[in-house]
């Protein structure tokens, strides 16, 4: 399975000889076994982008990005990342036999840095990058100048920087359309710079048999309110912020694709949802314990948004709802430890018997 089976639907795809795949795409769409019932949603689904080769949806982006570099004859892959983009670019660059240099946001998790290093990428972590909007803009400008000098496109997972590669992310929507038979009313997507959410909205517009497409909702942590708040407030543009969320991967203080994302969501009938970090951690734990789905915190943001929509009475019980689970739980050991520490400890055989008795099992 590969994203290239949708090449005829994409605005751009590399020539056959430049295409590269590690088996990205074709991810499962699972119907909720427990959480949907608890929320009163009869048809709640999870799109498991966490099952891509490097553990996130960014593999779709990287497959196209490296294909584009091969087509251009670029000497190396130069990119920026808060984690998942870097891991994906490092892996696909390694598969292409291409050098990879990554400029990283200050808060990039150690696990993701190790993943990049394992594939042989050269890493530079930059203070203030990804946290302060002005600093982030300046660094992005400097990196773009460096990329021009090196005769290679700068790889940032946003349409304004890499439109060809971002087009490959639209294949998520094509798969959802196939997997639901076109019956999907709402899609909840986590957003940092907005690229994923914009790709999903655009993908549904290009997917056959989907009609007008579902309402695509932008969900952001409260501490990175660049798109979701302005969307709900009826504003026409996204706005930069000082990033205060701890949700790795969604720490994007600048607007990037935000304004286009806001407009695409509104045109689809979608709106914005802001969720506290603690709610995200709660739903991350519930996904693991009630659905068997292990995701990093960013991968639980969409579900936190859907739960908030239910609380506000903005979803019908019978409507098909899809939440994007964007990254693997193995990418964030701190959140794994947090979940493990809250588990019930059963250290001895005697304790097992006592625990069983309390639970009415013995």
- 140 in the same domain as 256: no
Neighbouring C-beta atoms of residue 239, cutoff 10 Å? 15
- 242 in the same domain as 180: yes
- 234 in the same domain as 149: no
| Domain-ending residue, one of 137, 164, 191 | 164
Q: Whole domain around residue 73: which residue ranges?
A: 58-164
Give me the pLDDT at residue 358, please.
72
- 318 in the same domain as 197: yes
Q: How far apart are alpha carbons 100 and 88 in whole angstroms?
A: 11
Give me the pLDDT at residue 183, please.
95
The pLDDT tens digits for 155-198 are 999 999 999 999 999 999 999 999 999 999 999 999 999 999 99
| Domain-ending residue, one of 164, 183, 210 | 164
Whole-prediction pTM: 0.92
Give me the pLDDT at residue 155, please.
94
- 172 in the same domain as 43: yes
Nearest residue to 82 via CA among 196, 301, 248: 248
Count up the domains in the chain and report the number.
2
- Half-sphere exposure in the Cβ direction for 183 (13 Å, CA): 8
Q: State which residues of the chain have pLDDT below 50.
A: none
Residue 333: CATH number of its domain: 3.40.50.1100
- 234 in the same domain as 127: no
| Domain-ending residue, one of 143, 164, 185 | 164
The verdict on residue 249 lying in a domain is yes
């Amino acid at each position: 399975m590969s994203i290239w089976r949708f090449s005829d639907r994409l605005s751009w795809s590399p020539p056959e000889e430049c295409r590269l795949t590690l088996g990205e795409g074709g991810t499962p769409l699972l119907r909720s076994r427990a959480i949907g019932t608890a929320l009163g949603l009869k048809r709640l689904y999870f799109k498991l982008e966490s099952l891509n080769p490097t553990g996130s949806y960014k593999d779709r982006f990287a497959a196209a990005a490296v294909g584009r570099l091969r087509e251009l004859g670029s000497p190396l892959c130069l990119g920026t990342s808060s984690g998942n983009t870097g891991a994906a670019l490092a892996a696909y660059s390694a598969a292409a036999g291409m050098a990879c240099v990554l400029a990283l946001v200050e808060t990039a998790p150690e696990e993701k840095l190790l993943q990049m290093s394992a594939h042989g990428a050269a890493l530079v972590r930059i203070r203030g990058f990804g946290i302060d909007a002005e600093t982030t803009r300046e660094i992005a400008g400097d990196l773009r100048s460096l990329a021009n000098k090196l005769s290679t496109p700068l790889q940032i997972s946003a349409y304004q920087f890499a439109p060809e590669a971002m087009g490959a992310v639209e294949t998520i929507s094509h798969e959802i359309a196939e997997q639901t038979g076109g019956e999907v009313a709402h899609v909840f997507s986590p957003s940092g710079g907005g690229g994923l959410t914009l790709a999903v909205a655009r993908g549904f517009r290009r997917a056959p048999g989907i009609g007008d497409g579902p309402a695509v909702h932008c969900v952001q942590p409260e501490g990175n309110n660049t798109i979701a708040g302005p969307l709900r407030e009826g504003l026409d543009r996204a706005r930069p912020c000082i990033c205060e969320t701890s949700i790795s991967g969604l720490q994007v203080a600048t607007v990037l694709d935000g304004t286009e994302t806001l407009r695409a969501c509104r045109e689809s009938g979608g709106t914005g949802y802001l969720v506290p970090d603690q709610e995200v951690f709660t739903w991350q734990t519930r996904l693991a314990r009630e659905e068997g789905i292990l995701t990093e915190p960013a991968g639980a943001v969409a579900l936190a948004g859907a739960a908030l929509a239910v609380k506000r009475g903005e979803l019908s019980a019978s409507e098909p709802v899809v939440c994007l689970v964007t990254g693997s739980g193995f990418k964030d050991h701190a959140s794994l430890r947090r979940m493990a520490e809250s588990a019930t400890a059963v250290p001895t055989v005697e304790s097992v018997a006592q625990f069983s008795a309390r639970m009415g099992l013995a």
